[in-house]
A and B are shown apart, each in its own frame.
Chain A
Amino acid sequence: MATTTINGQEVTVDDEGFMTVYDQWNEEIGKSLADAIGVDMTDEHWKVIHFLRDDFKAQGVTPTIRRVSTAGGVDTKRLFALFPKKPAKKMAYIAGLPKPAGCV
């Protein structure tokens, strides 16, 4: 556990850098997180991130890629294009959520 500063705001993160407190996130922080890992945020990216946050609030867990695709309505192929190589982890990181635990 560590406390780091993003955009002048104190943010609690785990050892890997993933945010651990839901309410500390805001879009500016999300943008900084995205910049840090080289993801250029477009409206499409934001739509996905907001889905992740809403779903986490409703379900209590970070949605898996499959859930983002089926419940969030974004094609899996598109997710790999928006967040290359490790989409699930990248999306969670930018959205200030824990890595998804589910297997699929």
Chain B
Amino acid sequence: MTDTVVSEMIVPSFDDDVETDRTLAIICSKGSLDMAYPGLILGNAALGEGVNVHLFFTFWGFDMITPGRMEHLVFSPVGNPATHIPAALAPLPGLAKMATSQMQKAMDELEIPPVPEFLELVKASGAKIWACRLSADMNHLEKEDLWDGVDGIINASDFIEMTDGAQLLFI
């Protein structure tokens, strides 16, 4: 192991002077427990690196920001061959509940917060939270019906305008 001796302090650049407008927009379109996490984890990581983050909830992703549903997202092995549970067994009563609680337990052990708490964390860290206009109309929901951390309901054009130059992630 080479040990170098330097007299000057090694100071990492934390990009403070860099006018970074790096923006990441994450589209959360899924409502199952397993697919709720990727967007939140990456969004949270980006925020911790000083990146501007927009989370856009659409379609099934609406469940992530709807009180009453966001606390009870389900992980089902049905249609999920990656779980290696035989397809014929996957729809059996009780299996989804078991898979969900196993997943939540695994997350708890790693100190990953449940979805509602995770949303609070990313919001407090500066993420902008948007709900899709079309999904809201389809579900007959308005801003008052959604989680109070939602910044607004926007349509597709607004989203495209807002994410000019941004990196996009579709989940």
Contacts and interface: CB of A to CB of B under 8 A. Distances in A.
Interface of A: 1-6, 13, 15-18, 32-33, 36-38, 64-67, 69, 75-77, 80, 84-90, 93, 102-104
Nearest to B7: A5
A86 B124 contact: no
Nearest to B124: A76
Contact of B48 (A2, A4, A18, A86): A86
Interface residues of B, number: 31
Interface of B: 1-12, 14-16, 20, 41, 44-45, 48-50, 110-113, 118, 121, 124-126
A86 B125 CA distance: 11
B7 to A, nearest CB: 5
Contacts of A4: 5-10
A32 B10 CA distance: 12
B16 A2 contact: no
A18 B15 contact: no
Given A4-B9, A76-B121, A86-B50, A67 B14 contact: no
Q: Name the prevailing secondary structure of the B interface residues.
A: loop
B7 A89 contact: no
A80 B14 contact: no
A36 B49 CA distance: 19
Given A84-B16, A104-B112, A2 B9 contact: no
A104 B20 CA distance: 23
B48 A87 contact: yes
Contacts of A3: 3-6
30 contacts: A2-B4, A2-B5, A2-B10, A3-B3, A4-B6, A4-B7, A4-B8, A4-B10, A16-B12, A17-B11, A18-B12, A32-B9, A36-B11, A37-B14, A64-B111, A65-B48, A66-B113, A76-B124, A77-B125, A77-B126, A80-B124, A84-B50, A85-B50, A86-B49, A87-B48, A103-B44, A103-B112, A104-B41, A104-B44, A104-B121
Contacts of B9: 4-6, 17, 32-33, 36
Contacts of B126: 77, 80
